[in-house]
Chains A and B, each alone.
Chain A
Amino acid sequence: MEFFSVMLQLWNEYWKLFLEGLGMTLFMGFLTVLLSTIFGAVMALMRRSKWGIGKFRPLNAIAAVYVEVIRGTPILLQLYFFYFMLPQWVPFLELTEFQCVLIACCVNSTAYVCEIIRSGIQAVDFGQTEAARSLGLNGRQTMIHIVLPQAVKNILPALCNEFVAIVKETSLASTFFVGELMTQFKTIQGITYRVLEPLTIVGLIYFLVTFVMSKLIALLERRMNASER
């Protein structure tokens, strides 16, 4: 079949480009998850904070609005927005295109990670908190010694799934040619005037990576459930 022989030919010729793209995709995904885990945790704390005047809790309100807005708008729009907004509003930072796109990805992912962490904490039976408080532990001690260790089991697998989702979403960054896997498809398409063959190769790579990661996550989940038994 011509299709497969062309694919093979393209792979032999451009495998380095594909792998570079994959490297970039994973790098972006990893950096995004890492940063948004930090910011998402802070955001989740804000979301849970009871600090405020009367019924108005400003930290909670800011976090709630942030999460709703980010989850209620398309990620491609957010990418465009930050791509054009950052160089205009903060030109002194001299951000590269890649950095702008990465920031947009983090802003997006932070909202989702915030919800992952928040619901992970919420899923821990409230009786655990009551028991700890009834022994005289304060809120902070209860959180550190009882709630968080149990919440991590809910949070970690969900975070890994978010990583898988981000790896796929970074393909949208190819709109700005930042060098990840989808960008490499466009590059090779431009050189060879072939569309379906390089697209299939890129698709296969995405699938292989996410498939392997999903299997690893399932393994991790089983392992975590096996402890404490």
Chain B
Amino acid sequence: MQVNGEKELIQVVDLHKSFGNLQVLKGVTEHISKGEVVSVIGPSGGGKSTFLRCLNLLETPDGGHIYFEGTDITDKKVDINVHRQKMGMVFQHFNVFNNLTVGKNITLAPVLLGKKTQAEADDMAKELLERVGLSDKVNQYPKKLSGGQKQRLAIVRALAMEPDVMLFDEPTSALDPEMVGEVLLVIKDLVKTGLTTVIVTHEMGFAKEVSNRVLFMDGGIIAEKGTPDEVFNHPQNPRTKEFLSKVLY
């Protein structure tokens, strides 16, 4: 089923999700267009991460639909693994594969899923590692990397699948302060290439700078949305105002 033509990459319709008795998403409807950079901000427990994790079905929604490139991926008959290959994800806690070298972290999925031969993947890994300044680590295990290095590796691991959209789930929240910059720099470079990106973040300055659109989530719904200027400089919703007054000082 095609919704709203070609431009919509992701279309979310009336998304609901509960954990036990706790209703985390109470009907979220939103669309992500090709080439957009969308930041999702809001207080903890507002449903930001759950919303993002529903997009590639790491959380199974209880109700509603998610159309990715025209396919309803909430349909049980859809092979979600095929669609996940086109949705890169970066986690708060990096989740780099501890049992694989830096190089293998990158090449495992493309080779295993038949997108590339090992030789092709190795070349690509070299290029990607160069891009994020980790060329000398290719044969090391993640244990030896710092948090910032791990997160940069996690980003290029996702890029190696040549995804159509990148999902970032609080990519800098678990980092030591001095490592936040290097990771944000990599993400900044990435969005410049025009790759569609959704970022859940607490870095307000960063969200303001890189995104085309900002979603403010609170209480399981999108309470306010607009351009960074609209949301940060002229918030309409009192909840947005209250939140921003707490985090911007």
B-binding residues in A (CB < 8 A): 125, 127-128, 130-138, 141, 145-146, 149-150, 228-229
The dominant DSSP class at the A interface is helix
Flag whether B37 is at the interface (Cβ < 8 A): no
Q: A150-B98, A228-B98 are in contact. Are A136 and B109 (CB under 8 A)?
A: yes
CB–CB A133/B98 < 8 A: no
CB–CB B157/A135 < 8 A: yes
Q: Which of B80-88, B212-220, B224-232 contacts A (4 or more CB under 8 A)?
A: B80-88
Query: With the chains together, A127 CA to B154 CA distance in Å?
Result: 12
Nearest CB on A from B54, distance (A): 13
Q: Please, which residues of chain A bring their CB within 8 A of the CB of B93?
A: 127
Q: Which A-B residue pairs are the 6 nearest by beta carbons?
A: A136-B85, A131-B95, A127-B95, A134-B89, A135-B109, A228-B141
Q: Please, which residues of chain B bring their CB within 8 A of the CB of A125?
A: 95
CB–CB B96/A135 < 8 A: no
Q: Please, which residues of chain A bring their CB within 8 A of the CB of B91?
A: 127, 130-131, 134
CB–CB A128/B95 < 8 A: yes
Contact partner, B158, options A133, A135, A229, Cβ 8 Å: A135
5 A–B pairs (Cβ distance < 8 Å), ordered by A: A127-B95, A131-B154, A136-B113, A150-B98, A228-B99
Q: A130-B58, A135-B158, A135-B161 are in contact. Are A146 and B82 (CB under 8 A)?
A: no
Nearest CB on B from A125, distance (A): 7
Q: How many residues on B have C-beta within 8 angstroms of the other chain's C-beta atoms?
A: 30
Nearest CB on A from B195, distance (A): 16
Query: With the chains together, A134 CA to B108 CA distance in Å?
Result: 13
Query: With the chains together, A228 CA to B139 CA distance in Å?
Result: 10
CB–CB A128/B58 < 8 A: no
Q: A133-B58, A134-B84 are in contact. Are A145 and B95 (CB under 8 A)?
A: no
Query: With the chains together, A137 CA to B56 CA distance in Å?
Result: 13
Chain B residues numbered 64-114 whose CB sits less than 8 Å from any CB in chain A: 81-85, 87-89, 91, 93-100, 108-109, 112-113
Q: Please, which residues of chain B bring their CB within 8 A of the CB of A138?
A: 81
CB–CB B97/A131 < 8 A: yes
Nearest CB on A from B230, distance (A): 31
CB–CB A136/B98 < 8 A: no
Q: A127-B95, A149-B99 are in contact. Are A134 and B113 (CB under 8 A)?
A: no
CB–CB B144/A229 < 8 A: yes
Nearest CB on B from A135, distance (A): 4
Q: Please, which residues of chain A bring their CB within 8 A of the CB of B157?
A: 131, 135
How would residues 131 to 165 of chain B score, 1 for a CB under 8 Å from any chain A CB and 0 otherwise? 00000000001011000000000100110010000
Q: Please, which residues of chain B bring their CB within 8 A of the CB of A146?
A: 97, 99-100
Q: Please, which residues of chain A bring their CB within 8 A of the CB of B97?
A: 128, 131-132, 146
Q: Please, which residues of chain B bring their CB within 8 A of the CB of A133?
A: 58, 81, 84
Q: Please, which residues of chain A bring their CB within 8 A of the CB of B98?
A: 128, 150, 228
Query: With the chains together, A127 CA to B109 CA distance in Å?
Result: 16
Query: With the chains together, A135 CA to B97 CA distance in Å?
Result: 12
Q: Please, which residues of chain A bring their CB within 8 A of the CB of B95?
A: 125, 127-128, 130-131
- A126 and chain B: residue at smallest CB distance: B95
- A138 and chain B: residue at smallest CB distance: B81
CB–CB B161/A136 < 8 A: yes
Nearest CB on B from A68, distance (A): 26
